[in-house]
Amino acid sequence: MEEGAMLPACETQKNEAMELPLFSFSTISKATADFSLNNKLGEGGFGPVYKGMLEEGIEIAVKRLSTTSSQGLDEFKNEVICISKLQHRNLVKLLGCSIQGEEKLLIYEYMPNRSLDRFIFDEKQRTTLDWTKRFDIIKGIARGLVYLHQDSRLRIIHRDLKASNILLDQDMNPKISDFGIARSFGGNETQANTERVVGTYGYMSPEYALDGIFSIKSDVFSFGVLTLEIVSGKRNRGFVHPEHDNNLIGHAWRMHNEGRSMDLIDTSLAESSDPSEVLRSIQVGLLCVQQSPEDRPDMPSVIMMFGSEGALSQPKQPAFFTERNLIGADFSSSTNPTNSTTGLTITDVVAR
């Protein structure tokens, strides 16, 4: 199959045919120096990712479907279906794909600064992102989600929004990536449920983790977690405060109630931060991680909150698990860790 050919029709939930440029396998193999380890950018649930350079000088990132990935083929198809027609400055652009026998590749625009987690969670790199840039990243992610939830051709729920799935271009503009487990909704659909919960613990909303129910409000929850992580420079999962055993969400809630929200901020932001923007971001983050989906704002409302100076509503107690009972749990097995807040159990969760 040659470049310029079109992908055979993939049927969406609306039975709408999609077309995507196809690259020959030899072209991509040459671009990545035969998938050299020196060009390997990382590894995900889908498979390894490589940097490449096309003959015309265009830098690319190539996802190579792992032959050992049980869910990789489904994710490959899903990614093509979900984002082949999406165009937004805060979404990573899918340039094409390659299918040759067992070899299945997805070709994306290359993001020179890689992923957000490499900056906010790294002691040296975190100083690269001052408060202005972090606030811009938060708002950029929000705009990308508004497009997915409301303005795209189909309503799309990402289901795996996290720091490692936010890529940064040369100007540190954020782009949402990895649509392997995204779901598209049509008509008047607002939510769905699944018996197989796939995602990343620490970012999953309680109704999704516990009952397999997902909606745009599931993404809103993940956005809230991500916002708190960007402000604090700490991961929600793995963070355990020595005084009260709460994860990052629980700690942020505690600081908010005690009027000490500024204590949450990444210490590297001390000089660059705008206290009013920081406090607003924390409060918006807490509004997004409230226990009940109905209490969480939608993403257009979040955009309005960031753009105004008016008072925000007070968040209710968020949904959060204490990490003490959950660290090291195998979510893909029959282990049923207990939610310390509700007493419910998490079952059939496949961690990514």
DSSP SS3 for 3: coil
Query: How far apart are the C-alpha atoms of 75 and 158, rounded to whole Å?
Result: 12
CA distance 66 to 232: 34
Q: Which of 74, 122, 130, 160 is catalytic?
A: 160
Helix 299-307 and helix 216-232, axial crossing angle in degrees, nearest 10: 40
Note if 171 is an active site residue: no
d(CA 303, CA 146): 8
Across 193-214, b (16+ Cβ under 10 Å) vs e yields eeeebbbbbbbbbbbbbbebbb
Strands 155-157, 103-109: pairing is: unpaired
In the chain, what is the greatest distance between 2 CA atoms, to the nearest angstrom? 62
Of residues 321, 172, 299, the one with CA closest to residue 227: 299
Which residue in 37, 59, 57 sits closest to 49, CA to CA?
Answer: 37
Beta bridge partners of 39: none
CB 149 within 8 A of CB 219: yes
The rounded distance, in Å, linking the Cα atoms of 318 and 259 is: 16
DSSP code per residue over 9-43: PEE-TT--EE--EE--HHHHHHHTTTT-GGGEEEE
Distance, in Å, from the CA atom of 318 to the CA atom of 307, rounded to the nearest integer, reads 23
Strand pairing partners for 176? 91, 166
Find all residues with CB under 8 Å of 153, minimum gap 6, and list them: 85, 86
The length of the chain in residues reads 352
Residue bearing tokens 């027609």: 85
* Active site positions, annotated: 160
